[in-house]
C-alpha cells in the first residue's frame, strides 16, 4: 500500500474532531423530540395515552355478502378471504356511530386520535388498527398480517406513520407474520407475544430483534387451538394489575406475572372475550364495552380501577373490540 497523502491525513484529523455519537440511544426522549418531533413510542401499556392510530369503518366493510353464509353461523368467502363472525351482517351506520362515540370518549380524555390514510379497498377489518402497528420504544413496528383479507392494511398504516414523522423501526418481512393484538408490554423491560395462527415464530423473532436492542425481554406464549390474539385473554390495567381469563393462559406465564408483581383480576365466566379486550388510557383508568358482569365490575372497583363504559357490540360483531380498534403510538412513562 502506498503512503498516505497529505489530503487523507488532513481528512483523518478532521474526522477525529467530529466522531460518530452512538450515545444517547435512538429511543432517548430528547433525541426523538429534536429529530422526530415527538418522543414517539410506548414502553408500557398503561401510561397516559397521548396519541393513538384508528380507522373509522367505511365502504371497505361492504365487501361482506350476506348471501354467503358459512356453516358456523357466520358469513365468508374462502376464495376471496373475507369473513364476518356475527350471526347477522354488518350494520355500517351503527358501527360508525359506536366508533365515533369511542373516538369522542378518547378525545374527552385528552387523547390525540390520528386516522389512517384511506383504507385499502376491501380490507374490511382495517378498523382494527391494533393488529397492523405495534408501538414500542422510539416508534413503531409495522406488522405483516396473517389472513388474506387483512394483507394490504400495512401500506396505508405505513403511509400514515411516515406523514406523522413516527419512526418505523421494523416492517415484518420474509415469511414472518405478526399481529399487534398478540403483543403486550408488561413493563419497561418485559413484553409478551402470543404465537398462534396469526403470529408465527419468524414474526416473533423479528419483533424480538427490535426489542433486544432496547433491552426488552420478549416472552412467547403459545396459544391453544385456533385462538388468534392474547388481547382476548389478557390486558394490562395498571403497572401492577391486569385483567385475564386465567384458565386459558399457561401456568408458567401466570407465575411469571406473579414474579413481576402483577396481580390478576380473573374475569367472571359470564363475561366474554370482548370484556377483556379493553383499553387502559391511564394507570387504573380503563375504557370497557358495556355489559361487564357485576362480579367483574366489583373486582375492578375493589382494586381501584375506574371504568368508562361505551357501547361497542356492533363493532365487536365484526371480530374485534375496543383494544383491537386502537394502535397506541405514544404513551407516558409510568
Q: What is the CA radius of gyration of the chain?
A: 22
Greater confidence (121 vs 46) lies with 46
Is the pTM higher than 0.85? Answer: yes
Residues 266 and 82: their CA atoms lie apart, in Å, by 33
Mean pLDDT of the 38-59 span: 98
Residue located via cell numbers 407465575: 255
Query: What does the alpha-carbon distance between residue 109 and residue 48 come to, in Å, rounded to a whole number?
Result: 9
Q: Using 50, 70 and 90 to split pLDDT, how confident is the model at 286? A: very high
- Bridge-based pairing of strands 190-195 and 183-187 is antiparallel
CATH fit for domain 23-331, picks 3.60.40.10, 3.30.70.270, 3.30.70.870, 3.75.10.10: 3.75.10.10
The helix/strand/coil state of 161 is: helix
pLDDT tens sequence across 300-317? 999 999 999 999 999 998
Within 8 A by CB and 6+ apart from 11, the residues are none
pLDDT at 326: 98
pLDDT at 105: 98
What does the pLDDT look like over 178-204, one tens digit per residue? 999 999 999 999 999 999 999 999 999
Q: Is 184 in contact with 234 (CB distance < 8 Å)?
A: yes
Percent of the chain residues topping a pLDDT of 70: 99
Q: What is the pLDDT of residue 49?
A: 98
Tell me the per-residue pLDDT of 73-106, one tens digit each, with 9 for 90 and over.
789 998 888 989 878 899 999 999 999 999 999 9
pLDDT (0 to 100) of residue 272: 85
Does the pLDDT at position 2 exceed 80?
no
Confidence of residue 1 (pLDDT cuts 50, 70, 90): low
Amino acid at each position: 500500500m502506498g503512503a498516505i497523502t497529505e489530503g487523507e491525513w488532513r481528512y483523518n484529523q478532521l474526522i477525529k474532531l467530529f466522531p460518530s455519537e452512538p450515545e444517547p440511544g435512538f429511543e432517548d426522549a430528547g433525541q426523538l423530540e429534536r429529530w422526530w418531533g415527538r418522543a414517539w413510542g410506548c414502553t408500557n401499556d398503561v401510561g397516559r395515552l397521548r396519541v393513538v392510530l384508528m380507522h373509522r369503518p367505511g365502504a371497505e366493510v361492504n365487501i361482506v355478502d350476506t348471501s354467503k353464509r358459512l356453516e358456523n353461523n357466520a358469513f365468508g368467502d374462502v376464495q376471496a378471504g373475507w369473513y364476518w363472525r356475527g350471526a347477522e351482517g354488518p350494520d355500517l351506520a351503527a358501527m360508525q356511530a359506536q366508533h365515533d362515540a369511542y373516538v369522542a370518549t378518547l378525545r374527552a380524555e385528552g387523547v390525540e386520535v390520528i386516522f389512517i390514510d384511506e383504507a385499502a379497498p376491501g380490507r374490511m377489518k382495517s378498523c382494527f388498527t391494533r393488529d397492523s402497528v405495534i408501538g414500542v420504544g422510539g416508534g413503531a413496528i409495522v406488522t405483516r398480517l396473517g389472513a388474506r383479507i387483512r394483507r394490504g392494511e400495512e401500506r396505508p398504516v405505513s403511509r400514515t406513520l411516515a406523514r406523522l414523522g413516527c419512526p418505523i423501526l421494523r416492517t415484518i418481512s420474509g415469511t414472518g407474520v405478526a399481529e399487534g393484538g398478540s403483543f403486550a408490554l408488561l413493563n419497561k423491560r418485559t413484553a409478551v407475544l402470543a404465537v398462534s395462527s396469526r403470529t408465527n415464530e419468524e414474526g416473533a423473532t423479528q419483533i424480538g430483534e427490535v426489542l433486544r436492542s432496547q433491552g426488552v425481554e420478549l416472552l412467547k406464549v403459545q396459544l391453544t387451538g385456533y385462538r388468534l390474539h392474547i388481547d382476548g385473554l389478557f390486558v394490562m390495567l395498571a403497572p401492577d394489575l391486569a385483567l385475564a381469563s386465567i384458565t386459558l393462559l399457561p401456568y408458567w406465564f401466570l407465575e411469571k406475572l406473579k414474579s413481576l408483581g402483577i396481580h390478576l383480576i380473573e374475569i367472571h365466566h359470564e363475561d366474554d372475550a370482548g370484556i377483556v379486550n379493553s383499553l387502559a388510557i391511564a394507570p387504573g383508568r380503563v375504557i370497557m364495552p358495556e355489559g361487564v358482569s357485576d362480579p367483574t365490575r366489583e373486582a375492578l372497583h375493589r382494586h381501584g380501577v375506574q371504568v368508562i363504559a361505551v357501547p361497542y357490540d356492533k363493532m365487536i360483531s365484526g371480530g374485534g373490540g375496543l383494544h383491537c380498534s386502537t394502535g397506541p403510538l405514544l404513551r407516558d412513562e409510568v
